[in-house]
Structure 1
Amino acid sequence: MKSIIFTWFSLVVCSFGAGLPLAALGEKIFLDTSLSNPPGQGCVSCHNPENAFADPRRVSPGAVKGRLGRRNAPSLMYAALIPSQRLEDTYDDKGELEYIVEGGLFLDGRAHDLLDQVRHPFFDKNEMNIAGARELAEKIRNAYYEKEFEGLGEKEINEKTFEALVAFLREPMFRPFNSRVDEYWAGDKEALSLSERRGLDVFQTSGGCSACHLTGVASWPKPLLTDAGFDNLGAPAVGEIDPGLGAVTGKAGELGQFKVPSLRNVALTAPYLHNGSVKTLKEVIELYNKRDLEPERWGVTNYPQTINHEDMGNLGLTDQEIDDLVALLDAFTDQNLLKIPEGNIFPEVPLGVPSTEERKAFFLPKQRHNLAVPRRPGDN
Structure 2
Amino acid sequence: MGKILNAVLAGSLVVGAAGGFAAAQGNDPLAQLGSHIYKDKNLSVNKNQSCQTCHHPSAGFADPDNRLDPENFPVSDGSNPTLFGGRNCPTAGYTGFSPVMYYDAVSTLYVGGMFWDGRATGLTLGDPIAEQALGPFLNRVEMGLSSKDEVVGIVQAASYAKLFLDVFGPGAFDDVDAAFNNIGRAIAAHERSNEVVRFSSKFDKFWQEQGNTVAGFGTDGGGSYSPLPADFKSNVYTRQEAEGLALFNAVDKGNCAACHLTSNYDANTPPLLTDFTYDNLGIPVNPRIAELAGAQPIDYGLGARVAELSDLNDSVKFKKYPSGTPDGGKILVVVSEIGKFKVPTLRNIEKTPPYGHNGYFASLETITHFYNSRDVAAEGWPEPEVAENVNTTELGNLNLTPDEEAAIVAFMKTLTD
With the length of structure 2 as denominator, give the TM-score of the two structures: 0.71
Alignment correspondent of 1:9: 26
Q: Secondary structure at the match of 1:310?
A: coil
Q: Does residue 1:330 correspond to 2:339, yes or no?
A: no
Counterpart CA distance in 2 for 1:116 and 1:72 is 19
State the partner residue of 2:84.
Answer: 68
Query: Is the contact between residue 191 and residue 197 of structure 2 (CA under 8 Å) also seen in structure 1?
Result: no
The residue number in structure 1 matching 2:300 is 243
Aligned residue identity for 1:298? W
Q: Secondary structure at the match of 2:203?
A: helix
Question: 1:87 aligns to what SS in structure 2?
Answer: strand
- 1:200 deviates by 1.1
- 2:41 pairs with 1:33: yes
What secondary structure is seen at the aligned counterpart in 2 of 1:320?
helix
Residues of 2 paired with 1:65 and 1:179: CA distance? 34
Structure 2 partner of 1:208: 255
Q: Percent identity?
A: 36
- The one of 104, 111, 121 aligned to 2:136: 121
4+ long deviations beyond 6 Å: none
Match of 2:269 in 1: 221
Distance 1:65 1:320 in 2: 41
Distance 2:363 2:378 in 1: 18
Equivalence for 1:181: 203
- Separation in 2, partners of 1:221, 1:144: 35
Residues 138-157 of structure 1 mapped to structure 2, 5 A cutoff: 138-149=153-164, 151=171, 152-153=173-174, 154-157=176-179
What's the counterpart of residue 362 of structure 1? none
Residues 320 and 65 from structure 1, CA distance in 2 versus in 1: closer, same or farther, beyond 3 angstroms?
closer
Shift of 1:65: 3.4
Instruction: Please state whether the residue corresponding to 1:298 is helix, strand or coil.
Output: coil
Query: What displacement does 1:296 show?
Result: 6.2
Distance 1:120 1:310 in 2: 34
- The separation in 1 between residues aligned to 2:45 and 2:412, in whole angstroms, is 38
Q: How does 1:284-303 map to 2 (within 5 A)?
A: 284-294=367-377, 297-303=380-386
CA contact (8 A) 1:47 1:75 kept: yes
CA distance in 2, matches of 1:235, 1:272: 10
Measured in 2, the distance between the counterparts of 1:65 and 1:260 equals 29
Query: How far off is 1:164 after superposition?
Result: 1.2
- From 203, 225, 230, the equivalent of 2:278 is 230
Give the CA deviation at 1:292.
0.7
Decide whether the 8 Å contact of 2:339 with 2:388 is kept in 1: no
Check 1:314–1:55 CA distance in 2 against 1; reply closer, same or farther (3 A cut). same
> What is the CA–CA distance in structure 1 between the aligned matches of 2:358 and 2:302, rounded to whole Å?
14
Gaps of 5+ in 1: 1-6, 12-20, 91-97, 335-380
Of 265, 273, 290, the residue aligned with 2:348 is: 265
Using the TM superposition, give the Cα deviation of residue 305 of structure 1 relative to its aligned residue in structure 2, in angstroms: 1.8
Aligned to 1:130: 145
Matched, 1:314 2:397: yes
How many residues get paired?
A: 312
State the SS of the aligned residue for 1:28.
helix
Amino acid at match of 2:189: A
Q: CA deviation at 1:8?
A: 6.3
Q: Deviations over 1:267-301 (max 9, x none)?
A: 11111001111011111111011111147633232
Please report how far the alpha carbon of residue 218 of structure 1 lies from its aligned counterpart in structure 2 after TM superposition.
Answer: 3.5
CA contact (8 A) 1:149 1:157 kept: no
CA RMSD of aligned residues (A): 1.9
Supply the distance in 2 between the matched residues of 1:140 and 1:295 (Cα, whole angstroms). Answer: 56
Aligned with 1:50: secondary structure? Answer: helix
- Hey, what's the Cα distance between the residues in 2 that align with 1:256 and 1:30? 31
Letter in 1 for 2:94: Y
Name which of 173, 180, 187 aligns with 1:158.
Answer: 180
1:80 alignment partner in structure 2: 96
Tell me by how many angstroms 1:159 deviates. 2.7
Amino acid at match of 2:190: F
Q: Is the 8 A contact 2:78 2:84 kept in 1?
A: yes
Paired letter, 1:212 = C
Partner Cα distance (2:380, 2:101) in 1: 35
Greater relative contact order (Cα < 8 A, sep 6+)? 1
Gap regions ≥5 residues in structure 2: 1-23, 67-73, 122-127, 166-170, 211-233, 290-295, 310-332
Instruction: Give the CA deviation at 1:69.
Output: 0.8
- The answer as to whether partners of 2:26 and 2:195 remain within 8 angstroms in 1 is no
Which piece of structure 1 moves more, 278-287 or 242-251? 242-251
Instruction: Report the CA distance shift for 1:141/1:173 in structure 2 as closer, same or farther (over 3 A).
Output: closer
Letter in 1 for 2:236: A
Cα distance in 2, alignment partners of residues 290 and 168 from structure 1: 39
CA deviations on 1:314-372 (whole Å, 9 max, x unpaired) are 000011101111111111111xxxxxxxxxxxxxxxxxxxxxxxxxxxxxxxxxxxxxx
